[in-house]
Structure formats: C-alpha cells, structure tokens
A and B are shown apart, each in its own frame.
Chain A
Amino acid sequence: MKDFVLIFRLNNPDFKPSPEQMQERMNWLAGIAAQNKLADKGNTLSVGNAKTVKGSDLVTDGPYTEIKEFVSGYIIVKTETIDEAVEFAKSNPIFKIGGSIEVREVLVHRP
C-alpha cells in the first residue's frame, strides 16, 4: 500500500456548500474510510485567513490573487496503485462546482 494525497482545488473563493453538498462530500469521504483506505482525513484550508509570502518584503493577501484555482483542502488515501486513488478522486462531488483534484504519491524518505 502506498499513500496518495488528494489535493482539492476550487476556483470560487466565495463558495459555501449547502447541507446537501456537505452531506454528499461526507458520504464520499466516509465511503473511503469504510473500505479502510483512508490514511488521513486531512484538513480544509481557510480561504479568508490566508496570505502568500514571496520573500521577506513581499506578502500578499489570499492565495488566489494571481492564480485561478486555489487549494481548498486535502486528504490522504492508502491504495495499491495511483489508478485506484484516481478512482476515488473521480467520484468526488467537487467537479459539480468546477473544482479539480490533483493526486500525488507521498514519497517517504527513509534515513
């Protein structure tokens, strides 16, 4: 089993999910956990309380001033292959609201 991080991106910073949408997302997440393939339920990243630091003298508000999509959160799944992780990603309701998911293997560096 390998760990894959699923990174969620959204393009609408003002998006507020409805209770039904939240329930749908929760069903998706719990569905992965029910298969015992959730390594870390991850976190949601704040949109309002955000800064981008580009150097000691360059700090801008928000993550989205210069990019169209910003990271809204992540989770980590454990699957045999990246394709299996991609299958999980495909069934996420984020696409209904114009978001996207990046799937990346977590590389473990052994000392």
Chain B
Amino acid sequence: MQKETASSTELLPHLFRLEYTKMTAVLCRHFGLKHIEAAEDIVSETFLKASEVWSINGAPENPTAWLYTVAKNKTKDYLKHLAVFETRVKDAIQTDELQAQHDFEFNHQTISDSQLAMIFAVCNPANSTEAQICLALQILCGFSVAEIADAFLTKTETIKKRLFRARVNLRNDDFQIGQLQEQAIQSRLYTVLSTLYLLFNEGYSSRSNNHLIRKDLCSEAIRLTLMLTENPLTNSTHANALLALMCFQSSRFEARANQEGEVILFEEQDKTLWNQELIDKGNYYLINACSGNQISKYHLEAGIAYWHTTPASEHQWKHILQLYNQLILIEYSPITALNRTFAFAKVYGYEQGIAEAEKLNLTQLNHYHCLLGYLYAGTNAAKAIEHYRQAINLTKSPSEKKTLTKQMERLTFSAKQVK
C-alpha cells in the first residue's frame, strides 16, 4: 500500500504535464478560443478533483481515462449552465457557442487534431515571437509561470504580463481552431516552425541552469514538431529538416555539460554519452527533408549537425563550411558568422581564420573573444589571454566564466614554462 501512495504522488504531476495540454486543446477546439479560460478552468478543476479523490482512494486503474471522463462531465455541466444562461439572454449569445452543444470525444484522433490546431492558434503573428514562445510553453507544454520565468531568467511578473497580453490577442484573433484549413496552415507554417525552433533553442542554449527545465523544453519542442510531421497537411520538408536538427542536437545533450553545469567544448565531449537512437532518427528525418527541392535554414543547420555527429573524416570541415556559407546568405546572425569562421579556420588554418574573424569586429560579443582566444592559443598566448579576459568580462554566465578562466590559467601557465 505504501508503495502505491508513493507512486500516485508522482503520477499526478507526470499526468498533468502530459494530459493538461491535450485536454485543454480538445476543449478549446470544442468551445472556440474565446473560451480558453473556461476550458482551462475545467481541466484545472479536473486535476484538483483527481488530487483529492486519488489521495483518499488511490489512483484508479486507468488514470487517463478517469481524467477524461471527469473533464467530459464537467464540460457537460458547464454547457448546461450556459444553456440556462442562453434561454434567459438568448440574443446575447453568438451562434458559435451553440456549436458547443455537440458531443465530443477524447480519442487519439481528436486529441492530435486539437493539439495541432492549438499549435497554429498559439503561433499567432499578432504576438511577438517572445510572447508566442511563452504561450506555447504554457498552453502547449503545460509549463507553469514560474517554470517559464526560470527558463527565460525573467521575473514571474514579467511573464504574467506578457502572457496576459498574448492571451488577449489570441482571443481576439479570428483564427478558427475548429478544423485545420489548408490555407491557414500554409500561411502560418513558417511562423509555427520558427516558434518551435526558438522553443528548442531556448532549451538547448538556455541561460537557465536548471537542467531539467532545459531538457523538458527540448523534448517538448521535439514532441510538437513530431506532431507536425505526422499530419499530412503539415508534413513539409521544412518540418522534417527542423525535426532532424532537433534530434541531432539533442543526441549530444548529456555530453554538453558536466555535473557542475559547465559547458564542455565539442571536441572534449565524451562521445559515448551521445544518444545513437536520436542520431539515427535525425538521419531518418534528414532524408525525408531532402525529398523536395527546397532548402531552408533548417536543412542547412541539420546538415551541419549531421556532420558533427558522424565520425571525423577528412572533408568534414569542408562540408560544414559550405553549409555555413549557404546559411549566412539566407540569414545573417552574429552566431552564424562566428561559427562559420570557426569552420573556415578548420579548413584553411588558424592564421587565415584569425584574419577572417577579425573582419567581423563583433567586439561586444563574448563568443567573438572566445573564438579569437581559441584561434590565438597555439601561436600567440598573450593575445589569446587578452581575448579570454574580454570574453570573461562580457559573459554573465558563472559557469562560462569558470570554463574561460581555466583556459586562461592554462595559457598563463604554459607561457611561464616557456620563459
């Protein structure tokens, strides 16, 4: 008995993360986005009831089915109240609420369609991309406000305000969550993919040191992108490329940081910690992504990640540089520019790499100084140390400061040895 209670206390938070967003999505599809708060209230009440009943009676045999039944009954009650209200003030009620009278089912198809519709509703261009990510985390991934604040290293108040404004926009938007319209899908797919991309990046290179939250962010982004590839309407080559990228990057998740949370450089990673299953999946989706003749930044980034996960070969860096060359032509970003220069140095030697790097003149970026520190380390210890020092001054991350200080000390030590 003891054992059962212990498992049921772990069960509910787990189910909450898993089922809350699904149930909300189905109910929102049923009610329309205008009633998103009502849908969330019903689902929250369902979980509240579960925690009360299960703590006394233990968890039911099929907890998910239990939750769905309770949610369904609560919805019926809500609609009954709505109907009473409706007979009293008939004219004030819009016809779209009448549709809510139809019965609904929590089955696999409905859940997946509803969640997909919800992704497209959340990725609303009326909201800023930051707001979209917050909304996605809350509505699609079931993150609490505190968890979102932790992921963004922001105050909970800021997140609350951001979510409030975003939700107003969401309700006012005339996007129909009821059924996915092909045209609406095509026009929004770009926004959806970039939101999921940012969601993943937030987890992969997050400023938060909370390992669990970061990992959750990545796996949620993968789950949602996977959903896009499973529906014929949204299964584009771009979506497959994005999914491949996410799989490749996640495969190295465990190897990227040590127990103190310090970032481990690619070359020093323990390759036995790489997840081969995810690498294989990445390969699979990358092949799917190449079935068309369109190329997106996701294709290029997935290609770069692919070369990083394959065993080192002679022309590896040449391929990586070519992909970075194409990537920087599609979209400029300082990080792409720096990564491209790193690949350039790998192909043409560090000396030429330094010349190429210094042209970038990104002196306000810590990564710029990290790169130059790295490139100078073998030939000019004094310059390397100076760049590492500037990188330390520019970074806010304590673990990065620690890693860089180590590099600097190593250089100072070997410089002394030479003298």
Interface on A for B, CB 8 Å cutoff? 23, 26-27, 29-31, 33-36, 38, 41
Query: A27-B344, A41-B329 known; A34 and B360 CB under 8 Å?
Result: yes
Indicate whether B341 reaches chain A with its CB closer than 8 angstroms. Answer: yes
* Residue ID in chain B nearest A31 by CB atoms: B356
Could you name 20 residue pairs across A and B whose Cβ atoms are closer than 8 Å? A23-B322, A26-B322, A27-B321, A27-B325, A29-B325, A29-B329, A30-B325, A30-B326, A30-B340, A31-B356, A33-B329, A33-B337, A34-B328, A34-B336, A34-B341, A34-B356, A35-B337, A36-B337, A38-B329, A38-B332
Q: Please give me the 7 A-B residue pairs with the lowest Cβ-Cβ distance, nearest first.
A: A30-B325, A34-B337, A33-B328, A26-B325, A36-B332, A30-B328, A34-B328
Q: Which residues of A contact B344 (CB under 8 A)?
A: 27
Interface on B for A, CB 8 Å cutoff? 318, 321-322, 324-326, 328-329, 332, 336-337, 340-341, 344, 356, 359-361
Q: Which residues of A contact B329 (CB under 8 A)?
A: 29-30, 33, 38, 41
Distance A41 CA – B336 CA, assembled complex (angstroms): 17
Q: Which residues of A contact B340 (CB under 8 A)?
A: 30, 34
A-B contact count (CB 8 A): 40
Q: Is the interface of A mostly helix, strand, loop or mixed?
A: helix
Distance A41 CA – B329 CA, assembled complex (angstroms): 7
Output the least CB separation between B368 and chain A (Å). 12
Distance A36 CA – B365 CA, assembled complex (angstroms): 15
Q: Beyond A31-B356, A35-B359: 6 further Cβ-contacts under 8 Å?
A: A23-B318, A30-B340, A33-B328, A33-B329, A34-B341, A34-B356
* Residue ID in chain A nearest B339 by CB atoms: A34
Among B329, B336, B340, B344, chain A packs the most CB atoms within 10 A around the CB of B329
Distance A41 CA – B332 CA, assembled complex (angstroms): 12
Q: Which residues of B contact A35 (CB under 8 A)?
A: 337, 359-361
Distance A23 CA – B318 CA, assembled complex (angstroms): 9
Q: Which residues of B contact A26 (CB under 8 A)?
A: 322, 325-326
Distance A36 CA – B340 CA, assembled complex (angstroms): 13
Among A23, A27, A34, A41, chain B packs the most CB atoms within 10 A around the CB of A34
Q: Which residues of B contact A23 (CB under 8 A)?
A: 318, 322
Q: Which residues of B contact A30 (CB under 8 A)?
A: 324-326, 328-329, 340
Establish whether residues A33 and B322, one from each chain, have CB atoms under 8 Å apart when the complex forms.
no
Q: Which residues of A contact B359 (CB under 8 A)?
A: 31, 34-35
Q: Which residues of A contact B325 (CB under 8 A)?
A: 26-27, 29-30
